Structure 1
Amino acid sequence: MSEKKYSFITIFTYGLVLFSPVIFQSVLQTTSSQIIQLTTLTYFLGAILMIFYRVKSRSFEIENRQKNILITILLGVVGIPASLILQMVILQIEQQFLGQSVASQNTQNIVDLIMNNMIFILATTIAGPIMEEFVFRRAIFGSLEKRFGFFLPALLSSVLFAFAHNDGHYLLYAGLGFLFCGMYRYSGRIWTSMITHVGMNLLVILTQLALRS
């Protein structure tokens, strides 16, 4: 599969997954809990499809400089606390200079859905981050890095990543996006940033659930 075809089909699949709750709500006569269950299933199907696309696609230029598996795993694990520290720093900057609340509306909405149906935690901590890494880091940043270098593709990828979350914390998500792009470029493996992203989301969501309880 060519880079262009891979990028298109990956982004298209992501769009379908994002709009799946609207489709379920308008087409099916289901309860809100059933919609959450169907959405979770759709997230996992989307993640599985994207893994399949990755297997069938050509390696990008950025992936020709791969670190070994142990470094990939270690960097991904170390990236979890690093991403949490980065979050705290950027949130303080947003609060001090932009007057924004530390609370993330996107996170609060996710926690509300999880409280309604705990199965949704699987979508937000596993399937969701997997898809986002394939879309924003590989399909967008990875496909453009060879031609434009690091900064511009990372900026585009990170800005789109921030707007996809759409809760006002654009600087926060863009900063995380740059971190994930850097991890992917350094290791040459998308699994590096994926490990960090999954671990970060899991810790944030579990902390929020514990505070709610």
Structure 2
Amino acid sequence: MKRSYKIILFSYIVMLLLLQPGTIITYQVLQWFGLKETHSLQIAALSIWYSLCFSGTLFISLFYLKDELRQSSRQNYSWIKIILWSIAGVFLALIAQTIAIEIELFFGSEVGSENTETILALIKQAPVFFFVTAIIGPILEETVFRKIIFGTLNQKYNFHIAAVISSLVFSLAHFEFEHVILYFAVGFVFAYLYNKTKRILVPILSHILMNTSVIIFAL
């Protein structure tokens, strides 16, 4: 694996580990500045820290991928195909999600994602979370799980092995183990899109469109 990929993966893991303790520290800092201890203050602390973490990690990722991004920008490609594949990817992901939900129901899992409900509640109270969830998060996740993990594995193994492993890691990284199949199915679709088009922009746009539509319709 490239050194730049290792740095990005390390940064992403560190970010995940620091989300909770960093939120607590941010909350205490806000209190130190004289703000009253309220639920709104907790939301503010969480919003500030999450925004800094995701934005900072994305900046690091783009910085270490700048050479690859520069080379990619010089290549000729059809924006029409990218847009069409991105839109098609949303429908494929929704179909995969529907099938996954039916499988989870068969095994006794409850409908609905606790992560999604929590995020929607946070967006209502702190709109900045919309940008973290709908834009920054998808770009960062597709960079880590599809471009780096899937892309690296796909060079050594066949598509199915690479897609299964990367999608499983993607699923487990959401720490919602009762919905492993759901996240796995969506991750597999995004891996397929990247493998089919050879453009990381396609799964990124599909992921952004999917998250945005879920948020808009839910709110």
1:151-204 CA-to-partner distances (Å, cap 9, x unmatched) read 111111000111111221111111111111110011111111000011111111
Q: 2:168 aligns with which of 129, 134, 159?
A: 159
Letter in 2 for 1:27: I
Q: TM-score, normalised by structure 2?
A: 0.83
Q: 1:41 aligns with which of 38, 52, 58?
A: 52
State the alpha-carbon separation in 2 of the partners of residues 74 and 113 from structure 1.
32
Q: 2:195 aligns with which of 160, 163, 185?
A: 185
Q: How does 1:1-213 map to 2 (within 5 A)?
A: 3-28=1-26, 29=28, 30=30, 31-32=41-42, 33-57=44-68, 68-95=78-105, 97-167=106-176, 168-209=178-219
RMSD over equivalenced CA pairs, Å: 2.3
1:140 touches 1:157 (CA, 8 Å); kept in 2? yes
Letter in 1 for 2:148: A
Q: TM-score, normalised by structure 1?
A: 0.85
1:73-125 CA-to-partner distances (Å, cap 9, x unmatched) read 22012211221222122212211x21111111111121122223121111011
1:9-51 CA-to-partner distances (Å, cap 9, x unmatched) read 1111212332343242343423321331231132123223222
State the alpha-carbon separation in 2 of the partners of residues 142 and 84 from structure 1.
23
State the alpha-carbon separation in 2 of the partners of residues 110 and 77 from structure 1.
24
Q: Secondary structure at the match of 1:99?
A: coil
With a CA cutoff of 8 Å and minimum separation of 6, indicate the structure with the bigger relative contact order: 1
Q: Secondary structure at the match of 2:65?
A: helix
State the alpha-carbon separation in 2 of the partners of residues 91 and 207 from structure 1.
19
